[in-house]
Structure 1
Amino acid sequence: MILQKAAQNTLTILLFISLFSCETEPIEKTELNPSPEQKIFEINVVVHIIHNGEAIGTGPNLSDDRIAKQIESLNNDFRRKAGTRGFNSNPISDDARIQFKLAQTDPEGNPTNGIVRINSQEVNNPLEAWGFDYFANFNYWDYKRYVNIWTAPFPESGIDVYLGEATGPDTDLPGNELFSGGEPFYAEGIIINHAHFGESDIESDYNLGRTLTHEMGHYLGLLHPWGGKDCDNNDYCDDTPAVDTFVSGCTSFKGCNQEDVMIENYMNWTSDICMNTFTNNQIERMRYVLTHSRKSLVDTAN
C-alpha cells in the first residue's frame, strides 16, 4: 500500500499498490469488541535505519529518541490511550489490546535495543529497485519473531509522495489474494520514508508518526475503507461507513448511502492530526490475524 498526500497524485517510481481485505466472517463471537479481560498481544519490532553515512540524529540516521517516541505513539494509537492523540470516545471503537516493543534480544540471542543502523554506502546491494527485498538485503530478522520496519533514506523530494507501505498476512480470511505478498516468496515487513517516521517539524500533513500506525494496520490485515472503490465490497468492515473513493485531508463528506465518511479512521489517507480511530470490526480483524497467520509474533514476544 502506498500512502499519498493527494488521491489523484499518481506515482511512477518505487511504488507498489496493493489492496487489503477486512472480512471477518470466520472469526468467532468471542473475538468481537475486545474487552479488558481479553489478552494483550505484545509484538517485538526491529527498526532498521538505512542511512547514507550521516551522523546519528542527522537526516535519515534517526535518533534513538525519535525512534522510541514513534513506538510510544504507535502504542498510544493501538491502545487508545487517554490523554494522547490516540484517544477517542467513539462507541464503535475500543482499546485494541495490541502493543509493540523494540526487541530486546536479536535473532542470535544477543541483547539489543531493537535498532539496527546500516550505512547504505558500505553495503553492496545487488538489487536496484527499492522494495521489500531491496531493504531486506541490508538487514532482515526472522519475520516469524519480529516485525521488520525499515526507514528509507528517500530524498527530500519524496516527502508527501512516498510515505510507506506494508506486506499483508497470509490469512484464510476472504480477500487474502489481494494482499501484497511476503514470505516465502518475498521479504515482508513495513517500509517508512524516514521523513515520516515519528513526530517531526517537516511541513507536511503527515508529520506526527501516524504513517506507521496506518501501515501496521495493513500488516495486521486491514484495508483502506474504500477497498476496491466499490460501495458493496470495500473494506468489508460493517462499522466503517462505506466509501468508494480515496479519503484524505480532514474534511468529511458523504460516502455510499449518504453516510458521513469516518475521516478519523487510521486506515484512511487522512492528515495525521485527524486520525484517532480503529473500529471494533477492524480490531477484531487484527486480533484474528494475531491468533492465526501471525500467531508466532505473539508467542515469541510472550
Structure 2
Amino acid sequence: MNAKRALLYFILFTVFSCSEDSKDLEPDEPADDIFVLPLVVHVLHQGEPIGEGTNLSDERIKRQIEIINEDFKRKTNTPGFNNHPDGGDSKIAFVLAKQDPEGNPTTGIIRVKYGVDEIPDDVPKFEFEQYAYLSYWKSENYINIWVVPYPDNFANVLLGKATGPDSNLPGDDLFQKPLPGGAEGIIINWAHFGESKIEGGHHLGRTLTHELGHYLGLLHTWGNRVCESNDYCEDTPAVDHEVTKEESYLGCNGEEVMIANYMNYTPDYVMNVFTNDQIERIHYVLEKSPRRTSLLTSPGLENSQ
C-alpha cells in the first residue's frame, strides 16, 4: 500500500510497523481456541441512497467481513489461503456486532451523513476524534471502523489508518495511538473498503486486513527499518524498506522478501500470509492489552435480550 506514505486529510499519516520477539510471547489459550471480535462499521457518507457512491451497500460491507475472516483464518479455497511453511491460521473470527451499547439489536452497520461543518471547533483536530464525534461505540467493547468519504483523488494515495494497542511489546512507540482516554479504531477510505472495480491494485478488501493487523499489534514487515531488529518477527524475512513490489526479491542478508505478507504495501492480489510469529504477537495483544482483551467478552457478541 504505497498509498500510505502520502498526505493526510486532517493530520499527517503516521507510519506503522511490526515488532516483538516471538520467543518471549506466551499467551494464554483462547476460549474454545478461537478469538471472536465484534465490529461496528460506521459508514460516513455524502447523502447518497444506500448502495450508491460513498453510502456503501450492506452486501459490500458483509462481503468485506467475509474477506477478513478468510484472510485471518487462512481459509481454504479462498484468496486468503496459503501453503507457506511459516503461514498460519490466526484462529480469529470477526463478527458484526449483534447489540449496540444500549443493549438494542443491531446489524453492526451505522450510517451517518458526513459533514465537516457539523463538528464543533472544540473537538480535537485529530482524525479519529473527528469521526468519533459523528459516530462511535466504546472501544473496550467494539472495534470501530469508519468508512470515510475521502475525495476521489485520495484513492490509492490514502487507503487506511489504525490506532495501535497499548502493550509492553518492543515497537509499541511506533504505533499511532489515540489521545489519552480518547477514541480509537480503524479508518478506511471508502474506495478501498471491500471489493470494487477501482484501479491501482487495492480493490479486493485487503486494506482492512492490513489495518486490523496494526490494530491487533502488528507492524509493517520492515518494522523500524533496521535489519537487525526489523519487525521482531523471526519468520518474516528482514527488510529495511517499504515492500511494494509484486515479484519477490532479496532483502536483508540476501533473504527472499515475503511479498505476500499482509503487512506490506503490495497489491491486494499478492497478499495471503500472516506468519506464525505474527499470530503469536496478535494473541499476546488480545490476552494482555486492556482495550483488546475486553473485546473478547463484549456484549456486542451476544444477541440482545
Common fold by TM > 0.5:
yes
**Alpha-carbon distance, 1:130 to partner:** 6.3
Superposition map of 1:269-284 within 5 A: 269-284=265-280
State the alpha-carbon separation in 2 of the partners of residues 152 and 216 from structure 1: 16
Q: Which amino acid aligns with 2:75?
A: K
Q: Which amino acid aligns with 1:19?
A: F
State the alpha-carbon separation in 1 of the partners of residues 190 and 8 from structure 2: 20
Given the superposition, is the C-alpha separation of residues 251 and 130 from structure 1 closer, same or farther in structure 2, using an over 3 Å criterion? Answer: farther
Given the superposition, is the C-alpha separation of residues 128 and 203 from structure 1 closer, same or farther in structure 2, using an over 3 Å criterion? Answer: farther
Number of aligned residue pairs:
294
The reply on whether 1:66 has 2:60 as its aligned counterpart is yes
**Identity, % of aligned positions:** 52
The reply on whether 1:169 has 2:169 as its aligned counterpart is no
State the alpha-carbon separation in 2 of the partners of residues 65 and 123 from structure 1: 30
The reply on whether 1:19 has 2:13 as its aligned counterpart is no
Given the superposition, is the C-alpha separation of residues 146 and 123 from structure 1 closer, same or farther in structure 2, using an over 3 Å criterion? Answer: farther
1:257 counterpart SS class: helix
**Alpha-carbon distance, 1:72 to partner:** 0.3
Once the two structures are overlaid, the 10-residue window that deviates more, 291-300 or 270-279, is: 291-300
State the alpha-carbon separation in 1 of the partners of residues 7 and 79 from structure 2: 30
Q: Deviations over 1:153-193 (max 9, x none)?
A: 01111110010010000012222222211263431100000
Q: Deviations over 1:183-239 (max 9, x none)?
A: 634311000000000000111210000000000000000010111211112111000
Runs of 5+ unmatched residues, structure 2 = none
Q: In the alignment, is the contact (CA less than 8 A) between 1:123 and 1:138 conserved in 2? A: no
Structure-2 residue corresponding to 1:249: 245
**Alpha-carbon distance, 1:249 to partner:** 3.1
State the alpha-carbon separation in 2 of the partners of residues 42 and 29 from structure 1: 16
Q: Deviations over 1:71-126 (max 9, x none)?
A: 00000000000000000011111110001000010000000000000012497112
Once the two structures are overlaid, the 10-residue window that deviates more, 268-277 or 176-185, is: 176-185
State the alpha-carbon separation in 2 of the partners of residues 231 and 29 from structure 1: 27
TM-score normalised by L of structure 2? 0.91
Once the two structures are overlaid, the 10-residue window that deviates more, 38-47 or 270-279, is: 38-47
More helix by share: 2
Q: Which amino acid aligns with 2:216?
A: L
Once the two structures are overlaid, the 10-residue window that deviates more, 139-148 or 168-177, is: 168-177
State the alpha-carbon separation in 1 of the partners of residues 155 and 172 from structure 2: 30
Structure-2 residue corresponding to 1:124: 118
